[in-house]
Amino acid sequence: MNHYNNLTTTGELWLRNVKGNKVLASNALSAVYAKYEGEYKSFYTQLKTNQITRFDMFYDCIFVETPAGCIFEKIIPDGDAFKPFNLLDLHTVKHNSVAEYISFDTYVDYWFDEKKQKVTYANIVALEENRYFKEFFTFVILVNEYDCKTSTRQTLIFDKVTLCYKSARNWDIYNYTFETPKITHNALTGKYNLSFLFKNATKEFGLMSFNFAPGSSLEQGGYVVTEVNGHLPFFDLDITRCSVLPYDPTLIPPYHVVTVSNRKYLEDGTTLDPAYDPNPKRKEHYQFIALSTDVEGLPVRRLVIETPVKPTFQF
Amino acid sequence: MFYSASTDTIYLSPTSLELDLHHTAPFLLTIDPRNGLSLEYLKYKPYKIEYNFGDGSPVYTQTLSPTPSANLYYTRPTDNTLPWPKEPGDPRNFPISHQYYLSGSVVTNVQTTITIFWFAPTTAAEDRIQYSLNISLSAGNLQPRGYNQNSVFGDIHLHSVRMFGENDVVLYNFESSDPNYLLPTIVDWKTYDQPVRLPSIIESLPTKALGGYKWKAPFER
């Protein structure tokens, strides 16, 4: 059996609730899904109609993926069903963050660090601009981290990679494929690796491999790409003109730092039961939540940056 | 059912006792003793052929198995035809096939020996002859067949990656389809040269397990 091509099987998704009864996931998680009813209708419809392509659990956190995107959610019992721990919208829409310039987007791959209780997940986005600039091929690597304790998301890497090539073999900007990236972590050094294949028009593959580690850039979530390796047989690369840079901030609305406490956010519309708080000292965690402006009618985007520095707001 | 990236058939004959073979793993070798081993060459009636494949698999022995209609000690025919078709139990009547895999490295050298024993009339007389096949196996090209007709696989995907040790060694776990294989691969990026195809730059894999994994070369059994 080929594992890559046989990852899915068709069926209904069921959950067992706190009473031990088996409940249809669409019913048990309806309160969780309802978070996405307004802004992400296609995603919500896919959740309700069981068009789920992947499902996973990390203790009391779930991962649900449909063709339109994915979510990580910490859930708490609510009668026979479950409700979200955090009302913050942490939906990862396909084509998120760079919506107007997308020509290709991959599914996410994730790595669960049991010690830190965090899930690091990544996807690759290719840009529409590739169709206008010859001899350059650009894509964006997006790496986020989901905290299973606080049910919040942090962006670790949001970088634009530019490959400059002198010549290319069987390269067609309308006919290439990115495969879902694979992420791994080296507990010994603290570094991550993100690798993926992308293929040209004749399915000849190239391999890209990124190492990234904690750095000093707070805007990038404190992580920086430390090493890029590649096997790109269909490109004759001009290495001196290849680059990995933070994604061009002029292409997205500017971020405004809004000082919202985690505690306040949790109390906004829901009652937090301390019995389900895995971290009794959670009030000592402080966060900046940066919200993008909506002045041009673009969808609101959020970037959550954890900081060890106590912000200037009241608890 | 085995998949073979390459196949070859060797006909044992008087002309060459030693032969060098270069193939891509997995390699299916067929040794055919049915032609060429006449009594003019062997001198006496063979009663056993030993096949030592040299890759750790058991030595296979094909022995003379007399049949009721055949003569164990036959007389050489006068019409100068090959004698053994008249005796189905003759060990020369049985071609043997064997599948070779890589063993811990992207290049594996195996020496296969075929020894034919015959009924010698005296203890002082020579009673055997040995063939030697020096087989050099290498890993195939990872690129799928759509691009390269010499490739082994229908398609290639990256199944998973793992990173180990102080030097952040990355293990790329490829999965092929048609045929289906898991292909753990380490690339020494420091010595990597763009025009060089991927399998040839894979480091020799460590012999001891690391991080709980037993690392295997592509097409290691």
Q: Using CA atoms, how far apart are residues A200 and B133, in angstroms rounded to an integer? A: 41
Contact of B169 with B179, CB cutoff 8 Å: no
Is the predicted pLDDT of residue A60 greater than 80, yes or no?
A: yes
Contacts 24+ apart (CB under 8 A), B87-93: B89/B64, B89/B65, B90/B46, B90/B64, B91/B33, B91/B46, B91/B47, B91/B48, B91/B49, B91/B62, B91/B63, B91/B64, B91/B116, B92/B33, B92/B34, B92/B37, B92/B46, B92/B49, B93/B34
pLDDT tens, position by position, A83-117? 998 887 666 766 444 445 666 788 899 999 999 99
Which has more confidence, A194 or A306?
A194
Q: Name the strand (E) or helix (H) holding A31.
A: helix A30-33
Confidence of residue B192 (pLDDT cuts 50, 70, 90): low
> Contact, B155 vs B163, CB < 8 A?
no
Q: In this complex, is the C-beta atom of B163 within 8 Å of any C-beta atom belonging to chain A? A: yes
Rounded to a whole number of angstroms, the distance from the CA of B147 to the nearest CA of chain A is 6
| Nearest neighbour of A205 by CB, restricted to B156, B189, B192 | B156
How many beta carbons lie within 10 A of that of residue A161, not counting itself? Answer: 20
Which residues are CB-contacts of A302 (< 8 A; sequence separation ≥ 6)?
A88, A89, A153, A289, A290, A291, A292
Residue-wise pLDDT for B76-131, tens only, equals: 445 544 445 556 678 888 899 999 988 766 678 999 999 999 888 777 777 888 99
Residues of A in contact with B212 (CB under 8 A): none
> Are the beta carbons of B147 and A193 separated by less than 8 Å?
no
Closest CA to A60 of A120, A122, A143, A119: A119
Cβ-defined contact of B197 to A233 (cutoff 8 Å): yes
ipTM of the complex: 0.75
Confidence of residue A244 (pLDDT cuts 50, 70, 90): confident
Residue B28 vs residue B179, higher pLDDT: B28
Closest Cα of chain A to B124: distance in Å? 57
Of residues A290 and B65, the one with the higher pLDDT is: B65
Which residues of chain B make contact with A196, given a CB cutoff of 8 A? 158
Which of B146, B156, B170 comes nearest A193 by C-beta?
B170
Structure confidence by residue, pLDDT tens digits, B47-64: 899 999 999 999 999 988
Global pTM value: 0.68
**Chain A residues inside the 8 Å CB shell of B166:** 188-189
Among candidates A208, A211, A221, which has minimal Cα distance to B165? A211
| Contact between B194 and A233 using a beta-carbon 8 Å cutoff | yes
Closest residue of chain B to A235, computed from CA coordinates: B194
Nearest to B163 among A170, A193, A233 (CB): A193
Are B140 and B23 in contact by the 8 Å Cβ rule? The answer is no
Mutate to test the interface with B, among A6, A172, A182 (most CBs of B within 10 A): A182
Taking an 8 Å cut-off on Cβ atoms, the answer to whether A195 and B158 are in contact is yes
Among B170, B173, B189, B201, pick the best mutation site for testing chain A contact (most A Cβ within 10 A).
B170
Q: Tell me, rounded to whole angstroms, the distance of Cα B105 from its chain centroid.
A: 15
The 8-class DSSP code of residue A33 comes to H
Cα-flanking dihedrals φ and ψ of residue B96, to 5°? Answer: -120, 135
Helix, coil or strand: residue B85: helix
Is A189–B158 a contact, with Cβ atoms under 8 angstroms apart? no
Q: Is residue A165 scored above 80 in pLDDT?
A: yes
Tokens of A54: 């992947």
